[in-house]
């Protein structure tokens, strides 16, 4: 049984919005999870003034700090979190497509991951996958 086939792209994106990198942990993409987590840490270090962070000892104070963040810090964190969620969603969809695999509608054989317009087994033209109205 393929373990990754049960991974839902929208759930990976939701986890990535909660904590950047968590969606990738869900997908078991450990290196990407670390990279996205460190991107948020780096954005925080680069864009949040040190005087705002000094003296923060509780979760309530940290939540109050979020209202005082400079605009450039808010934008940087928003961009990193958004791209993390988009990447988690994309990774989950790519993993699903690789596991499911495409089959030729004519001969039924599994197609390689080539960008051909025809089946390399029976040479019949393949329907366009992006257009639902074609054929």
- Percentage of the chain beyond pLDDT 70 is 84
48 and 28 share a domain?
Answer: yes
How many distinct structural domains can be found in the chain? 2
Indicate yes or no: pTM above 0.85.
no
Q: Which domain holds residue 133?
A: 104-135
Mean pLDDT of 74-98: 90
Q: Return the number of other C-beta atoms located less than 10 Å from residue 128's C-beta.
A: 11
45 and 93 share a domain?
Answer: yes
From CA 124, how far away is CA 106, in angstroms rounded?
7
What pLDDT score was predicted for residue 134?
36
Above 50 in pLDDT, residue 132?
no
11 and 62 share a domain?
Answer: yes
Cα distances from 96 to residues 4, 12, 84, in angstroms, run 7, 12, 18
96 and 31 share a domain?
Answer: yes
109 — pLDDT class (breaks 50, 70, 90): confident
From CA 45, how far away is CA 32, in angstroms rounded?
20
34 and 85 share a domain?
Answer: yes
96 and 117 share a domain?
Answer: no
């Amino acid at each position: 049984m393929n373990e990754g086939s049960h991974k839902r792209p929208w759930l990976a994106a939701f986890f990535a919005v909660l904590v950047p990198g968590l969606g990738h942990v869900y997908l078991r993409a450990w290196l990407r999870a670390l990279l996205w987590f460190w991107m948020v840490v780096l954005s925080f270090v680069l864009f949040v003034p040190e005087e705002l962070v000094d003296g923060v000892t509780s979760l309530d104070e940290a939540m109050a700090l979020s209202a005082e963040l400079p605009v450039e810090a808010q934008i940087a964190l928003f961009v990193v979190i958004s791209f993390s969620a988009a990447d988690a969603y994309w990774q989950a969809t790519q993993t699903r497509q690789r596991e499911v695999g495409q089959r030729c509608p004519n001969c039924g054989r599994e197609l390689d991951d080539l960008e051909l317009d025809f089946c390399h087994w029976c040479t019949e033209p393949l329907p366009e996958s992006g257009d639902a109205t074609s054929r």
